[in-house]
Structure 1
Amino acid sequence: MIKDYIYDKENQLALDIYEPKTIEAAIILIHGGGWFRGDKAKEATLAERLTNDGFLVIAPNYRLAPDHIFPSAMDDLLNVYDWLVNSDYPVKGKIVALGSSAGGNLSIELALQKGIPAASWSGIIDLYDWVQQHPEVVPAMNQKPNFDQQASGKIDQDGANDAFYKWFILNYVDQDMARLKQADPLSRVSNNSGPLFIANSLKELVPLSGVYKLQETLAEKGVPSETKLITGTVHGEGYADIAYQNTVQFLKDNL
């Protein structure tokens, strides 16, 4: 493992590299945390599992809100992709992405803008429309004890939390609705977007509305997708064991 490789000197952003014995493909593995917290170190367990399946794993840090609002995090991940393409690793044409929660959103952005296969576990998709349709929801930070310290695979939001969902979406754009509209990934779906695997629990923090809208928009543009809806309330990497095999198969099949 190569730890804390600086890919962006200006912003002092680092990534970790997990190298398999033989590289079949590369995967950009993106941590979650509502775009305002989280760290690449959270991905160590999943990264090692992916490495065992032949992936060169790139786990980056990116700039976080509210100090760095949209499009900072998205731009950072686009830079990670460009860095990887121009690296000495033999992975051109064999790059995919996977992220959970806010990381799922950023993984989707890589598929939409770079045309690569990607997977999203509980990705934040429904932004502008959802906020517009829920004026009664009062934004509130999640007060769950020690939430920040939980490993990604241990997070269970116990179902919907609309107040928190609205809080971190608006935090991502500094309460600016015009910017929120720009942040909505649905506006960037095109004929050149990459195929997407989209997973979500049926009754969790992230509303299913975004999954349906994304899949419909992709279909309209002729872009293939696969959706896995999972029983219960678990969020993101909390259902990794259920979604993992389907995700890896989809990514490898679409290289």
Structure 2
Amino acid sequence: MVVIKNNIIYDENKKLGADIYYPNDTTSETKILIFWHGGGWFRGDKKDVKKIGINLANAGFMTFIPNYSLAPAAHFPAAHDDALHFVDWLLDSDYTDNDDIKNIVQIGASVGGTMALYVAGKYGFPTVTWSAPVEYTNWIKNHQEVKPSPQAKENFGITDPTQIRASFYKYFTLTYTGSDKSDILQKLDAQSYDFSNLNKLMMINSADELTPLSTTLDFIKFLAKQNHGVQLLVIPGHGHAMDYSQDYIDESLDFLYQTIKRQK
């Protein structure tokens, strides 16, 4: 039986909360998992991933699923700042002990994976990303002709899946940044994040999906130059993040379990 606490407020000013999923046998030794939901920074909510929260708790993790500020009401770096604020709140809360920073891991779906990378670079939490977008500046530059829309088929009559994905990619990027200026986009690029404390990282991506695999490979090369190892799992098909989450949650948890064992 998983016990759920809904909407525990971590930011009183913004009224941002997190849902907490407790395993049946929670003890002081229970590991903590932060799950960052996706939604392109303009939609998505912690309640939408309740099933994932239950699955993670049943796997033995005390699971926290925070909400964060959404665009266009809040532009970059609002959601990124919320992520760091949540972690600071968590480490200072009654939900953690003084040494629990070593007991925290992450999974991030889609742009939630991008935020998980941002957090991992600062705190060193072992992390798994599902289809995390990592590049914006060059992508926008190379797709000037693309018209942004969350529903390109309905809005523009586009039927090609690649073009639909490109339209959506451009839409959520510009909706979050509020600008197509390169100096702002560069700050959103994952290569601009501080990875000095990066620990174990696993990235899962489909072969042909919303997140261009070429950008993921470029990002991995970037990390490799800083002597960071990354485990990459490329799965067949077009699925993005939550599309394949149930099929690859075991691989994700196995990676995190093995990482925790090695850190003991």
Which amino acid in the other structure matches residue 47 of structure 2?
A
Which position in structure 1 is the counterpart of 2:90? 84
The equivalent of 2:173 in structure 1 is 169
Query: Residue 21 of structure 2 corresponds to which residue in structure 1?
Result: 18
Shift of 1:159: 5.5
Q: How does 1:42-53 map to 2 (within 5 A)?
A: 42-53=48-59
State the identity %.
35
Q: Kindly tell me the number of residue pairs found equivalent between the two proteins.
A: 244
SS in 2 for 1:135: coil
**Paired residue for 2:157?**
none
Higher relative contact order (CA 8 A, sep 6+): 1
Q: TM-score of the superposition, structure 2-length normalised?
A: 0.87
Shift of 1:191: 3.5
Q: Structure 2: give runs of 5+ residues left out of the alignment.
A: 155-159
RMSD of aligned C-alpha atoms? 1.8
- Aligned counterparts, 1:98-247, within 5 A: 98-142=107-151, 161-177=165-181, 178-247=183-252
Shift of 1:219: 1.4
Match of 1:95 in 2: 104
Return the letter of the residue paired with 1:7: Y
Instruction: Describe the shift of the 1:144–1:46 C-alpha distance in structure 2 as closer, same or farther (beyond 3 A).
Output: farther
Partner of 1:92, secondary structure, is helix
Maintained 8 Å contact 1:191/1:222: no
Question: 2:49 is aligned with what amino acid?
Answer: E
**Does 2:39 align with 1:33?**
yes
| 1:192 CA drift (Å) | 2.0
2:122 and 2:196 in contact (8 A); partners too: no
Match of 2:64 in 1: 58
**Structure 1 gaps, min length 5:** 146-156
**In structure 2, distance between residues paired with 1:66 and 1:101:** 18
**Aligned residue for 1:149?**
none
Q: Distance in 2 between matches of 1:86 and 1:6?
A: 13
Could you tell me how far apart the structure 2 residues matched to 1:67 and 1:243 are? 33
SS at 1:215 equivalent:
helix
Instruction: Give the drift of 1:204.
Output: 1.1
SS class of match (2:8): strand
Residue 45 (structure 1) shift: 0.5
Residues 14-53 of structure 1, C-alpha deviations (whole Å, 9 max, x = no match) = 1101111235311111111100001000111011111011
Contact 2:21–2:53 (CA<8 Å) still a contact in 1?
A: yes
Asked whether the equivalents of residues 101 and 121 of structure 1 are also in contact (C-alpha less than 8 Å), the reply is yes
Whether the 8 Å CA contact 1:159–1:233 is kept in 2: the answer is no
Matches of 1:229 and 1:38, distance apart in 2: 25
SS of the counterpart of 1:93?
Answer: helix
CA contact (8 A) 1:105 1:124 kept: yes
Could you tell me whether the CA contact under 8 Å between 1:137 and 1:163 is conserved in 2? yes
Letter in 2 for 1:69: H
Q: What's the offset of the Cα at 1:113?
A: 2.1
Secondary structure of the residue aligned to 2:195 is coil
Q: Which residue of 72, 78, 92 corresponds with 2:78?
A: 72
Q: Which has the larger radius of gyration?
A: 2
> 1:103-130, CA deviations, whole angstroms, 9 ceiling, x for partnerless residues?
1111111112222111110111111121
Q: Structure 2: how far apart are the matches of 1:176 and 1:235?
A: 24
